[in-house]
A and B are shown apart, each in its own frame.
Chain A
Amino acid sequence: MDIDLIKKLLEKYYEGDTTLEEEAVLRDYFNNEEVAQELQKYQSQFVFYQQEREIKYQNYDYELPKVSEIYHTRRRSYWITAAAAAILLIISIIFFLPKDPFSHKQSNVITVTDPDSTYRITKYALYAVSENLNKGLGKLDKLEYLQDGMNALNKLNLSKKESN
């Protein structure tokens, strides 16, 4: 390894200007190579940093089980709620789904052959439909309120823009 390069890097190192790659070069030099006499006074710190990097928390016996304990208790409670939700789901499927979806349609069918009464009944049915339709359309009038509100909001936005 070029000693001059190491010296230059050391200078940069003490100014805090080295990149991570350059620091890796220094660490590698002081840990794995024959260190020149004049640079030996710098060696001990890099050796120390290398040692420190290898310290592991897992070496200590009792920590990990503690973490997994919390993990298990929390997880179990979620599984219970999830299971409860699943059971509710099944119950609701049984109760709310109609048993035979097509059975009630059959009972409403009327067969008419007489043209007069056919006309009457059709007219009556169409009136009923239009009445219901109007009822539904009446509700849509309320949309105007929404439009009013939106207009007010737009004004608000405009005034915000102006103030900006």
Chain B
Amino acid sequence: MNGIFILLLIFVFFVFIIVEEKEYLSKIIPLQDKLYRFARRLLKNEEDAKDAVQEVIIKLWEKCNMIDSTKNIEAFAMRVTKNYCIDKLRTRHIQLVPIKGIFPTQKSLNPDIMLEQKEQVKIVEKIIASLPAKQRAILQLRDIEGMEMQEIAKIMNMKPNNVKVNLSRARKKVKEKLEEYENGYRFN
């Protein structure tokens, strides 16, 4: 009788694992876009960003049994992405990747926007690419992904106040550089 009971338990356990993993995957896949945008901002390169997302999803998949599924998977996934990208940036010796021409031209631009503005939007992209990695990451998480300060602090492993300072610094830098550009100074 005992043997049967134990076997039944094992069976239920496996069924539980299957259901659990399916559920877990359904939580990761919708995050792909966010992870991709984040990796793209940090690595400044589309190919590398795609690889990064692949790697991160596989990493999350391997760790999937260890993570408590009730915790915030999104913040966890973003943190894994951040760590991966920072490592990648460190190993990539040449930090001075030419900014010019890294990104393809945006296809989905509103036709109403004037040519000058189109150019200016590209300039913003270049300015952000020239920021330090930490500020770039925070700016991305706040202004593009629209995350709460607490969440960003968790992802970046920083104090919320520190996040705020860095965010303000990054935003001001963007404004300053835009003004410089406006006044005739051009980036290469």
Please give the residue numbers on chain A whose beta carbons come within 8 Å of chain B beta carbons, in ascending order: 13-17, 20, 23-24, 41-45, 47-49, 51-58, 60, 63, 66-67, 70-71, 74-75, 78-79, 81-82, 85-86, 88-89, 92-93, 96
Q: Taking chain A's interface residues, is the majority helix, strand, or loop, or is none over half, making it mixed?
A: helix
User: Number of contact residues on B: which range applies?
Assistant: 35 or more
Known: A14-B172, A15-B168, A78-B14. 4 other contacts (CB 8 A): A44-B178, A57-B50, A63-B53, A89-B4
Q: A55-B36, A56-B33, A88-B7 are in contact. Are A48 and B14 (CB under 8 A)?
A: no
* Measured CA separation A86–B143 after assembly (Å): 52
* Measured CA separation A14–B33 after assembly (Å): 27
Q: Is B137 an interface residue (CB 8 A)?
A: no
- Residue from A17, A49, A57, A93 within 8 A of B53 (CB atoms): A57
25 A-B residue contacts at CB 8 Å?
A: A14-B168, A14-B171, A15-B168, A20-B148, A23-B146, A43-B120, A48-B121, A49-B144, A51-B106, A52-B41, A53-B37, A53-B145, A54-B108, A57-B37, A58-B32, A63-B53, A66-B54, A67-B29, A75-B21, A75-B22, A78-B14, A78-B18, A82-B15, A93-B4, A96-B4
* Measured CA separation A39–B178 after assembly (Å): 13
